[in-house]
Amino acid sequence: MARKMIHFSRAFLPCAAASTLIIIFGVVGFFVRGVNFGIDYKPGLIEEVRVAPAVMDITYSGSANVTFDMTGTKADIVISGTGAENETKEFKFADNATVDALAASLNSVDGIKVTVNSYGESATSELFANSAASNKLGPTAYRLYSAGKIDAQTADVRDALASVSGVSIKQLGSGNGTSFQIRMADDGSGNTGKQLQETVVTKLAEKFGADNIAVVKTDFIGSNFSRTIALQSMILLGATIALIWLYSAIRFHWDFALGAVIALLHDSLMMMTFIVWTQMEFSTMTVAAILTIVGYSINDTIVILDRERSLLPVMDTKKFNDILDQALTDTLSRSIITTVTTMFAAASLYVFTTGDIKNFALALLVGLTSGCYSSIFISSGFISATRRNWKPEYGIHHSLKMHKGVLDTSVSV
């Protein structure tokens, strides 16, 4: 029994008008409220820190220039300068397995004094330095830290920085290799990168102790670089849509391809409207959500377009909208089922996660809804507009050819 045809085409114009109003609403919001850019798109500080005890202090008293370098397998004392014999003294961790053993060896160098503060029995392979401190030795102690001695969790670091606005924290590694990436946006108060760094270190020191904080790496993102990242994200989205249009143009007729691309632009703008008015943080996860919806939506649209193309040469009708309505009716259950099942997964992420993943899931839910809607009403509505003067004799496109008496429907229509 043939499925009763639903007249979707009656809603093409009202849906186009509604979508246009919503998008205009989003454009107004963009200028009125702006975009709540996340730290990925703001100038500021990116710092990697480790929470560990300072187990060794190294000082030097003398006239030479002495620096301390360390890798995962050895430590080097480099001596240079006027009146000094230029040389490098190497201390392999294989020969100095513990902190106490390494300290004893380093103390054998003239002018070097090493004090072991704690954990003298711990392995030298667990030692690391504070990258924020100069490795040139002098009266001020140069400190080495031992990993894995303090059990610091992401929640602890987040609690320590709770009073600092615009901070994002992510744990890197696990076990003895645990470190924390701290991203702090410039709030426009005029603080320099050095001041931002000092703010982070001070807050962490209050929580864990001044002797237990080591900076592994520090980067400062300037305003020009943050604008470059935003521009690259826009280029990425534009390139993705352009490639999809190219595929669709090869696979289908130009109006089918353009209809698919308009649906994708519609979904992207709908998501941006939601992001602008809810002031959801716009981060790299948001870009990932938009690209995910672009890929999902085009898949849904292609299924519908393929059905429309297959009906074109075989359906007996005088109205092109009848072909569109029948194709949409045939694929309706598939569109709804695939969208709803995917939304179950996105809804689970939204309910059971926090932070960026929660925002990612929320953006997916909005995009999935828009994608299903645009595949049915926006893409097909555009095709209906371009073929409003269609006549039955145009039903078989000139590119459809007969091969041995059999109609070839694999070519563009």
What pLDDT does 302 receive? 87
What pLDDT does 395 receive? 46
Torsion of CA 25, 28, 32, 37, to 10 degrees: 80
- CA gap 246, 265 in Å, rounded: 15
Residue recorded with tokens 């030479």: 64
What pLDDT does 1 receive? 43
- 20-55 in b/e form (b: 16+ CB < 10 A) is eeebeebeebeeeeebebbbbbbbbbbbbbbbbbbb
* Other Cβ atoms within 10 Å of 214 Cβ, number: 24
What pLDDT does 405 receive? 41
In DSSP notation, 251-302 reads: HS-HHHHHHHHHHHHHHHHHHHHHHHHHT--B-HHHHHHHHHHHHHHHHHHH
What pLDDT does 193 receive? 61
What pLDDT does 356 receive? 77
- CA gap 151, 1 in Å, rounded: 68
Give the DSSP H/E element, type plus range, for residue 192.
none
What pLDDT does 200 receive? 86
Predicted TM-score of the model (pTM): 0.62
What pLDDT does 146 receive? 93
What pLDDT does 11 receive? 92
What pLDDT does 234 receive? 81
The CATH architecture one would assign to domain 44-50+150-221 is: 2-Layer Sandwich (3.30)
Domain boundaries, the chain: 11-40+225-387, 44-50+150-221, 54-145
- CA gap 215, 206 in Å, rounded: 15
Q: Provide, for the chain, the percentages of residues in helix, strand and coil under a 3-state DSSP scheme, each rounded to the nearest 5.
A: 55, 20, 30
| Tens digit of each residue's pLDDT, the chain (413 residues) | 456 888 998 999 999 999 999 999 999 999 998 888 776 677 777 888 999 999 999 999 988 899 999 988 999 999 988 667 788 999 999 999 999 999 999 999 989 999 999 999 999 999 999 888 889 999 999 999 999 888 888 889 989 988 887 788 888 888 888 899 888 776 655 555 677 788 888 899 999 998 899 988 887 766 555 567 777 878 888 888 888 888 888 888 888 888 989 999 999 999 999 999 998 888 888 888 888 888 888 888 888 888 888 887 777 777 888 888 999 999 999 889 999 999 999 999 999 887 778 889 999 999 999 999 999 999 999 988 888 876 665 544 433 443 334 444 444 44
Q: Quick one: which of 310, 288, 304 has its CA closest to 373?
A: 304
- CA gap 337, 342 in Å, rounded: 9
What pLDDT does 406 receive? 43
What pLDDT does 407 receive? 44
CA distances in angstroms from 184 to 36, 217, 283, 358, 380, listed in the order given: 15, 14, 14, 20, 46
Residue recorded with tokens 């390139």: 239
Give the DSSP H/E element, type plus range, for residue 363.
helix 355-373
| Superfamily for domain range 11-40+225-387 | Multidrug efflux transporter AcrB transmembrane domain (1.20.1640.10)
Give the DSSP H/E element, type plus range, for residue 3.
none
What pLDDT does 306 receive? 87
What pLDDT does 270 receive? 94
AA letter at 305? L
Helix axis angle, 379-386 to 320-352, nearest 10°: 160
